Amino acid sequence: MQTVKMVVTGPFSSGKTEFIRSVSEIDVVATERKISSDAEKTVKQATTVAMDFGRITVDEDLVLYLFGTPGQKRFDFMWEILSEGMLGFIVMVDSTRPETFREARSILETFRAYAPTPYVVSANKQDAPDAWDVEDMRHALRLDAKVKLLPCVATDKTTVKNVLLELLYSILAEMDGGAK
Amino acid sequence: MALRGNLRDFTVTQLLNLINLAHKTGTLVIEGPSEVARVAFRDGKLAYAQVGQEDNRLATVLHRSNRLTAGQYNAIIQRAAHVTDKELGLLLINAGYLSQGDILTALQAYFTDVVRRLFTWVEGFFRFENEMMPPEDRINVRLDLENLIIEGARQLREWEQLQDEIPSLDMALKFTERPDTNIQKMNLSVEEWRVVSFINPKNTIRQIGAAAKMGDLEIRRIVYGLLQAGLVEVVRPEGAPPTAQERTRAAAPVQDKEEQKSLVNRLITRIRSI
Ligand SMILES: Nc1nc2c(ncn2[C@@H]2O[C@H](COP(=O)(O)OP(=O)(O)OP(=O)(O)O)[C@@H](O)[C@H]2O)c(=O)[nH]1
Ligand SMILES: [Mg+2]
């Protein structure tokens, strides 16, 4: 029995828990805790304290685990632990909150430093009326044209599947590239 | 008789009991697996405690127990670094910020917490230094040991039970195929998540404990909880003890490129079908 994992990271309240919940076959084990600081409270009431944990069984001997990192900075000691052995990672960005783009960028860089695995960026909450256009976000996030920036609605399984698939295609492409 | 020995033969709780009964004055030095603790007593009462490099200055203790705001704390650290704890205590009392009781309560809580942490140390050497007392400029408390001894004894019983439940730390853990449906109700702590993230049939419980920087008692307690919750099961570890690099590969233990690609392709097929 093999297990592989992917990590879903991104700033506070970007939709990581929701994303994993959409595709996990088990109820996502999230340790949500009531938020303490007032600034964060205006965004939402509960935050993931340690991490979310979702599972997709592939077949008898392969299971994929999705780990969501806690959004709040003060739990970032978990990041390195989580990134160990991951197949790839997804950076969730809340398209409606440009004030979080800089942090998203910094999280992305941190994870890249932990492991040279493929990654994709997910422009989440594209269903919201005030969501930024994906191409505008690419500029704001200073993402190279090579980096996949994918529109997403975390509650919509189709878009979540697409993000996961694009990441897997990147992983596959890298394996092919490395073989040459 | 020199009071020195190994924690395996003489527990921290037993030591406290002895210090209490003999009304001892001096410092108990415990060399644990990763750090050294110093706990001072006067007439058999807890006076002071320090563990590893942990900052136990008054300002820090007060800040941690929310007696000082971050602003006040920073001002003290930046501008009053040369002021001793005793002086700082007097300044705060005279300025009407805190009472003597507030200060002692905060220190007592901190020192007690240090001793509680020592209860989880089951390996290490101890010695009692009659002459050694805390630095002159530090504030000491006077705390009866009885309650701590009772707490320690309770933990000791727990420790014995846990040893029965999880006799060997050289076994590995794996996720159960079908975690209980009530997994959703589980409220895992940060420590539990730390352990969960290392679970792999290739890592022994001992290795997980070391990687997560946990003592034997702590890792046993957490593993016991995860076992009870039906999230994991104990298995024989796969192969030899893995290196850090192997541990990385253990999460995706694929040998060659073709195998890796087939694995990714299986993942793709599966996700398309969701
Ligand atoms: N409209 C819309 N709302 C979303 C979407 N994804 C998440 N949300 C909402 O955004 C809020 C935050 O989502 P979470 O999934 O809790 O975010 P998180 O990243 O796990 O947050 P932390 O764990 O606190 O960092 C919740 O109220 C979600 O219902 C989306 O695609 N569209
Ligand atoms: Mg969350």
Q: To the nearest whole number, what is the mean pLDDT of chain B?
A: 84
Cβ contact (<8 Å) for B266 and A172? no
pLDDT of residue B211: 85
Question: How far, in Å, CA of B47 to CA of B100, rounded?
Answer: 16
Closest-CA distance of chain A to residue B190, Å: 5
Ligand 1 pocket: which of A17, A69, A74 to mutate (most atoms <8 Å of CB)?
Answer: A17
Dist. CA B267 → ligand 1 center (Å): 25
Closest-CA distance of chain A to residue B265, Å: 8
pLDDT of residue A74: 59
Tell me the per-residue pLDDT of A66-75, one tens digit each, with 9 for 90 and over.
988 876 665 6
pLDDT at B102 over 60: yes
Evaluate whether B59 touches B66 at the Cβ level (below 8 Å): no
B150 touches chain A (CB under 8 A): no
Average of per-residue pLDDT across B237-250: 49
Residue B92 is classified by DSSP as H
Q: Which two tokens stand for residue B97?
A: 């910020």
Give the HSE-up count for residue B128: Cα atoms under 13 Å, Cβ half-sphere.
19
Percent of chain B with pLDDT over 70: 89
Tell me the per-residue pLDDT of B18-40, one tens digit each, with 9 for 90 and over.
899 889 999 999 998 789 999 99
B168 touches chain A (CB under 8 A): no
Question: Per-residue confidence at A30, pLDDT binned at 50, 70, 90?
Answer: low
Q: For the beta carbon of residue B27, count every other beta carbon within 10 angstroms.
A: 22
Q: Kindly report the CA angle at B189 between A77 and B246, in degrees rounded to 5?
A: 55
pLDDT of residue B186: 58
- B46-50, B77-81, B261-265: least confidently modelled range: B77-81
Instruction: Provide the residue type at B53 as one letter.
Output: Q
Cβ contact (<8 Å) for B261 and A175? yes
Q: Kindly report the CA angle at A22 between A53 and B195, in degrees rounded to 5?
A: 0
Q: Which two tokens stand for residue B201?
A: 């049939």
Tell me the per-residue pLDDT of B184-240, one tens digit each, with 9 for 90 and over.
555 677 788 888 888 888 888 999 988 888 888 889 989 988 887 777 888 877 764
Phi, psi of B247 (to 5 degrees): -60, -40
- A34-38, B206-210, B239-243: least confidently modelled range: B239-243
Residue nearest to atom 13 of ligand 1 (CA): A15
Tell me the per-residue pLDDT of A99-155, one tens digit each, with 9 for 90 and over.
898 889 888 888 887 778 999 999 999 999 999 989 889 988 888 888 999 999 999
Total beta-carbon pairs less than 8 A apart between chain A and chain B: 105
Name the residue with higher pLDDT: A160 or B82. A160
Average of per-residue pLDDT across B248-255: 47
Looking at chain A, how many residues does it have? 180
Residues of chain A in contact with residue B187, where contact means CB-CB under 8 angstroms, are 31
Question: How far, in Å, CA of B29 to CA of B132, rounded?
Answer: 10
ipTM score for this prediction? 0.88
Residues of chain A in contact with residue B262, where contact means CB-CB under 8 angstroms, are none
Cβ contact (<8 Å) for B272 and A26? no
Q: Which residues contact B250 (CB under 8 A, 6 or more apart)?
A: A85, B200, B202, B203, B242
Average of per-residue pLDDT across A47-65: 81
Dist. CA A151 → ligand 2 center (Å): 19
**CA dist B66 to B50, B54, B59, B63, B103, Å?**
20, 18, 11, 5, 11
Dist. CA A146 → ligand 2 center (Å): 28
Give the HSE-up count for residue B125: Cα atoms under 13 Å, Cβ half-sphere.
3
Dist. CA B98 → ligand 1 center (Å): 42
Evaluate whether A91 touches A107 at the Cβ level (below 8 Å): yes
HEC profile of chain A: CEEEEEEEECCCCCCHHHHHHHHCCCCCCCCEEECCCHHHHCCCCEEECCCEEEEEEEECCEEEEEEECCCCHHHCHHHHHHHCCCCEEEEEEECCCHHHHHHHHHHHHHHHHHCCCCEEEEEECCCCCCCCCHHHHHHHCCCCCCCCEEECCCCCHHHHHHHHHHHHHHHHHHHHHHHC
Report field, pTM of the whole predicted structure over 0.95: no
Kindly identify which residue of chain B lies nearest to residue A33, measuring between CA atoms.
B187
Evaluate whether A15 touches A163 at the Cβ level (below 8 Å): no
Nearest to A171 among B249, B264, B274 (CB): B264
pLDDT of residue B158: 82
Q: Which two tokens stand for residue B198?
A: 């290392």
Q: Which helix (H) or strand (E) holds A68?
A: strand A62-68
Kindly identify which residue of chain B lies nearest to residue A166, measuring between CA atoms.
B268
pLDDT at A39 over 60: no
pLDDT of residue B200: 84
